[in-house]
Amino acid sequence: MQQFDSLISEIKGLHSVMEQSAAKAINRHITVRNWLIGFYIIEFEQKGSNRATYGDRLLEVLAEKLATNGLSFRNLKLFRQFYLAYPQIGQTVSAQLQYFGLQPFIKNLPSGGTISDNALAPIDNIISTTDQLDSNTLISKLSFSHFSLLLPLKNAESRVFYESECIKGNWSVSELKRQINTLYYERSGLSIDKQKLRLHANETSEKTNMADLIKSPFTFEFLGLKAKDVVYENDLQQALIDNLEEFLIELGHGFCFEAKQKRITIGGEYFFIDLVFYHRILKCHVLVELKTKEAKHEHIGQLKTYINYYKKEIAQPSDNPPVGLLLVTDQNKALIEYAVADSDMPLFVSKYIVELPTKEVLEIFINKELAQL
C-alpha cells in the first residue's frame, strides 16, 4: 500500500511540475512574440524605405494582410505599445529565442542578435534602468494579460510598483485589475503603515493559477483555440448553455442562432456573451447571459452594457433595440430577468414579451435541467 501511495504521489508531483513548466513556456512564447512584433513595427516605422506609403494606416494594413488569429489591429497596436513601454525586455530576447530553439530569428535582430540601448525606442515616461525589474523576472512571472493592464498606466513609477506587488503577491489578472481600479498605488503612498497595507492586500488577494493563463484571450488566440473551448466557468454552465441554445431554437419563436461565447471589446477589455441570437420576427438581437452563482447587481449592469454595445456597434438602422436575457441559478432556484435598450417597461411588455419565452417557461426549463444535471 505504501508503494502504491508513493506511485500516486510521484505521478501527481510530475504532473504538477510539467503543467507549470508548460504554462511558463507558453507565457514566455507569447510575451516574447508580442514584444518582437512591436519591435518589428517600430523598426519599419523608423527605417522602412516605403513607410510613408502606409502612414497612419500601417497597423490597419498589416492586420488586413496578416489575417491571422490574434494579430488584429487592436493587438498590433497593443504590441507596439508593449515594446515602447518595456524596452528592457530587449536585453533578454536573443537568449529567450536561443532557449526556444528559434535561432533563425536571432539574425533578424540588430548587433548580431542583441538589441542595444540605442536601438530601443525611447518613450516620455520611461524610468531609469536601476528602478526597472529584471527582464527575465518580468516575462517569467507576468503573463501578457498582466502587461495589458499595466500598459495604460501613465505613471511609470506606478507601473513598476504594480509589477513588483503583483509578482510578490502572485496576483491573478483580475486581482491586478482590482488593485489598479482601487488605486492601491496611491493608497500605499498615503498610508503610514505601508507594510500593514501590503499584508492585508496579499492576504485577501486572488492568486494566479493555470486557469488564468488558459482563459486569457491572448493564449487561446496564440494556440488557435476557439473562445468557447476555454471560457466556460464550469461544466454545469456549459451543459446549461448547450441545452438552452437548443431549447430556444426549438420553441419556434423566431430565434436564429448567431454565436456562442461571442467575444466583444469594450474600452480595450475583452468580454464574452454566452449566447447571441437574432430574432427574425422582432428584428433584433437577443443576448443571453447565464450565471451559475447567486444573482448580483453587477450581472444586470453587465448585461445592459452588452445591450448598449450591440445597439451602438452591431445593430443595423432597421433593427429594433436589442434584448437581454439574464438567467441565474442558485441552489436549484432560477432568476429570470429581461432588459431592453432604451425602452420603458410597458413598451417592452407589449412589443417583446409576446414573442419571447415567458419567465415561467424559462424557470421550468432551468429547474428541469438542474435536476437532470
Q: Which domain holds residue 16?
A: 2-219
Q: 201 and 95: one domain?
A: yes
Alpha-carbon distance of 105 to 98, in angstroms, equals 9
For the cut 60, the answer to whether the pLDDT of residue 279 exceeds it is yes
- Nearest-5° angle of CA 195, CA 173, CA 176? 30
Alpha-carbon distance of 161 to 313, in angstroms, equals 36
What percent of the chain stands above pLDDT 70?
77
Helix (H, G, I), strand (E, B) or coil at 270: strand
Q: 253 and 343: one domain?
A: yes
For the cut 70, the answer to whether the pLDDT of residue 79 exceeds it is yes
Pick the more confident residue, 202 or 95.
95
Q: 152 and 15: one domain?
A: yes
Q: How many CB atoms lie within 10 A of CB 211?
A: 11
Q: 16 and 60: one domain?
A: yes
- Nearest-5° angle of CA 55, CA 60, CA 64? 130
Q: 96 and 192: one domain?
A: yes
For the cut 70, the answer to whether the pLDDT of residue 108 exceeds it is no
Question: Among residues 193, 219, 245, which one ends one of the domains?
Answer: 219
Alpha-carbon distance of 238 to 227, in angstroms, equals 13
How confident is the model over 28-70, as pLDDT tens digits?
Answer: 888 989 999 999 899 888 887 777 777 778 888 888 888 777 7
Alpha-carbon distance of 304 to 310, in angstroms, equals 10
Question: Among residues 219, 248, 264, which one ends one of the domains?
Answer: 219
Q: 10 and 137: one domain?
A: yes
Alpha-carbon distance of 296 to 291, in angstroms, equals 10
Per-residue DSSP letter, 229: G
Contact 264, 274 (CB under 8 A): no
Predicted pLDDT at 131? 58
Count of all residues that appear for the chain in the document? 373
Residue 143, C-beta contacts closer than 8 angstroms, at least 6 positions apart: 27, 30, 31, 173, 208, 212, 213, 216, 218, 219
Helix (H, G, I), strand (E, B) or coil at 204: coil
Residue with cell 492576504: 203
- What average pLDDT does the chain have? 77
Question: Among residues 153, 185, 219, which one ends one of the domains?
Answer: 219
Q: 106 and 7: one domain?
A: yes
Q: 275 and 326: one domain?
A: yes
Residue with cell 448553455: 241
- Between the CA of residue 153 and those of 10, 32, 168, what are the distances in Å? 44, 21, 19
Residue 270, C-beta contacts closer than 8 angstroms, at least 6 positions apart: 217, 263, 264
Domains in the chain, number: 2
Q: 111 and 243: one domain?
A: no
Q: 273 and 312: one domain?
A: yes
Conformational region of residue 6, where left means phi above 0, alpha means psi within -120 to 50, and beta covers everything else: alpha
Q: How many CB atoms lie within 10 A of CB 51?
A: 13
Predicted pLDDT at 118? 43
Q: 242 and 160: one domain?
A: no
pTM: 0.62
Residue with cell 538589441: 115
Alpha-carbon distance of 300 to 337, in angstroms, equals 8
How confident is the model over 114-165, as pLDDT tens digits?
Answer: 454 444 444 444 444 445 677 888 888 898 989 999 999 988 899 999 999 9
For residue 118, the Cα-to-chain-centroid distance in whole angstroms is: 33
Predicted pLDDT at 119? 44
Q: 18 and 117: one domain?
A: yes
Q: What is the CATH number of the domain that holds 235?
A: 3.40.1350
Alpha-carbon distance of 25 to 140, in angstroms, equals 9
Residue with cell 493564449: 219
